[in-house]
A and B are shown apart, each in its own frame.
Chain A
Amino acid sequence: MRLVLEKRNEKSKKMQILVPIFSLIISALLGAIVLLLTNANPIKTYATIIHGAFGSPTKIQYTLVKMLPLLMCGLSVGIAFRLKFWNIGAEGQYVMGVIGITWVMQFWTWLPPILVLPIALIMSFAFGGLWGGIPGALKAHWKVDETLVTLMMNYIAIGIAEYLYINAWKAPKGNMGTVKYPEYAWIGKMWGKVHYGIFIALILVAVLYFLLYKTRWGFELNMIGKNSEAARCQGVSIKRNIILAMILSGGIAGLGGGINSAAVTHCLTKGVDSGYGFTGILIAWMSNLNPILSIFISLFLAALQTGSDALQITMKLPSSMSEVLQGLILLPLLAGNIFIDHRLRIVEKKSTEALEE
């Protein structure tokens, strides 16, 4: 007897719902095992995380603020993954966005005050778009492996950012960080910590949903991802679409960096590379590349992160528990995905041997 995976004729609708639910349960159980082994009460820990993320208006505000850059990076990666372009460079594109906005905020002071913020945000999009467009062009024209290129470009972007906030653009006071952006160019607050940037993100979700599901371009991107050879035969320009999609993908990550800087940090400084881009890959994957679902997934992961910070304070548990849980959620989900288009069958040893012959 042995187990064999057999391809289904079409994707199983039932499994598409069951797999994420079971993954979540399995990851909660695995997390509980880790917690029990280190003498922590899992139920109390999970309750603390939920309370830490949603327990009071201030906590909800922190979670929403944290959600924004995550959502932007998730949207960014989602576009690239649609073409099976394995962009792991959202981190670098986000950092470039912060560099772009800081450049305008710091040196384009001759602009009329009302124009500073819009132009600065456009610049963050452009810088991120450049950082996404380069690997896009390298892939489109010379088939250079995009995973490795985007990985390298992350570190180059982080290095440039470090050079800027430690050396070239360092504020006269202190030993790192640029000067604060002019106050008239900040993104305002609407509810406690929550700022108006959230509207930009939500509008973007709507635009992307329309673009990806209702226009010819979205249809072309899907076609390239599913079967690039068939797309080519239909007259779809693969080169052009890869480059355009990557400029858009990088641009959105960059804009995420721009919004977060204009609303929260107000400068370029240490901690700009805080892993939003990498979490974005998780979000894109877990939301099945759907922009609307990305909102809920990024809210969930933001809650996990802010909630885990509370663990440190109330339960003296290391906040790295959030990364443990993120990994534990992703692994069963990845493992379970195969059951959406495959079924598991038990067959007699003899019959498989006959099949292989």
Chain B
Amino acid sequence: MNGIEFFTRLLAATLAMGTSLTYATLGEVFTEKSGVLNLGVEGTMLMGALAGFTATYFSGSLFLGMLMAILIGAFFSLIHAFITISLRANQVVSGLAITMFGTGLANFLGKKIGPSSNGFNLIGLNLPVKFNNIKIPFISDIPIIGAFFDVSLLTYALYFILPIAWYYMYKTKFGLSLRAVGEAPRTAAAMGLNVNKNRYLYTMLGGALSGIGGAALSLCFTPSWNDGMTGGMGWIAIALVIFSAWNPGKVAIGTLVFGGITSLQFAIQAAGIKMIIPVQFLAIAPYFITLITLVFMTVRAQKTNGRFASPSALGTSFAIDEK
């Protein structure tokens, strides 16, 4: 295997793994931008993965699978929205509760709702259909770049979703409202915006995207069901939101870097290459880089008296009649 081939394969693996992460990260960007911190991503993703897998397995329809993943994802974040927005509970604790509940329920149901032929277990089942890679002729044969044109429908969709998300957030009236309720809810309310309605909407959008992220794992990347198959990806998504500075336009950079580092670990281990840096350090590199980025961004914002990238009202509830 020569160098170019290695990089092409690495990029292909990165795109396959990064797809799920990108959906979840993009969802959390929208949620946090509206002022709601949802630490329930991990649990929501796992429930999405389960819902997508189960619906597809029993119906044979990928469309139904994705639909179920979206609905379940939105439903789980609706719980978070209700508790933190309407009942003004602490967002950190509520998000953790959602993750705990979602992970527990997905792992529980995964062993109880399968077909009786498999002992009601979903583990070890094969899907009748899955998202396969679609090759675009000629372009996909170009070294390295070709990897971008030999991906699944879910990845192709992102080529359109990401620019649209960026445009929506920064160039439309709705995007302006979204940023306003996350930056200055009181001013937004004074201007006639319904802060809590906006927050409900974007928390549920975030959950729906997390659901898709989960289903991208169980219907495309793996494709199968397994206990805790998201393996902490929901937490990585939360880290990548910071890394992308809450900007949908930068989400792909974070997921490519992270997906690349993770794929590189597997590639190195598979190739049996001896490394100066242990693989475990590669595994913590994204978290370390995110941490440094966060500190650097915050310090710089304060030194220049400039605005920090994180939405000012992130993590706080809003009630019109109370301070």
Contact = CB atoms under 8 A, between A and B. Distances in A.
Interface of A: 5, 7, 34, 38-39, 86, 88, 138, 142-145, 147-149, 151-153, 155-156, 158-160, 162-163, 166-167, 278, 281-282, 285, 317-318, 320-328, 330-331, 334-335, 337-338, 356
A88 B283 contact: no
A334 B90 contact: yes
B89 interface: yes
A323 B101 contact: yes
A331 B281 contact: no
Contact of A318 (B96, B97, B107): B107
Contacts of B290: 152
A328 B102 CA distance: 10
B284 A159 contact: yes
Given A152-B290, A326-B100, 18 more contacts: A38-B109, A88-B92, A143-B298, A145-B310, A147-B92, A148-B294, A151-B235, A152-B239, A153-B287, A162-B283, A282-B100, A318-B111, A320-B105, A323-B104, A331-B79, A331-B97, A335-B83, A356-B320
14 contacts: A86-B90, A148-B239, A152-B239, A156-B287, A159-B280, A159-B287, A160-B284, A282-B100, A318-B107, A320-B108, A323-B104, A324-B108, A334-B87, A334-B97
Interface in B120-143: none
A338 B317 CA distance: 12
Nearest to A87: B92
Nearest to B286: A155
Given A7-B322, A331-B83, A278 B90 contact: no
B82 to A, nearest CB: 7
Nearest to A342: B88
Given A149-B294, A281-B93, A331-B101, A142 B299 contact: yes
B283 A152 contact: no
A88 B96 contact: yes
A320 B101 CA distance: 10
A153 B292 CA distance: 11
A278 B295 CA distance: 24
Contacts of B298: 142-145
Q: Which of A152, A156, A278, A323 is most buried by chain B, counting CB atoms within 10 A of its CB?
A: A152
B171 interface: no
A39 B15 CA distance: 41
A8 B37 CA distance: 27
Interface of B: 37, 39, 43, 79, 82-83, 87-90, 92-94, 96-98, 100-105, 107-113, 227, 232, 235, 238-239, 242, 278, 280-281, 283-284, 287-288, 290-291, 294-295, 298-299, 302, 310, 315, 319-322
A328 B39 CA distance: 16
Query: Which 6 residue pairs of A and B lie closest in terms of their CB atoms, listed nearest first?
Result: A327-B101, A323-B104, A159-B284, A163-B280, A320-B107, A324-B104
B96 A278 contact: yes
A110 B239 CA distance: 42
Nearest to A5: B319
Given A148-B294, A320-B108, A334 B284 contact: no
A332 B155 CA distance: 38
A151 B241 CA distance: 13
Contact of B83 (A144, A158, A334): A334
Q: Which of A147, A322, A330, A331 is most buried by chain B, counting CB atoms within 10 A of its CB?
A: A331
A324 B103 CA distance: 8
Contacts of B93: 281-282, 285, 330, 334
A338 B88 contact: yes
B280 A327 contact: no
A156 B79 contact: no
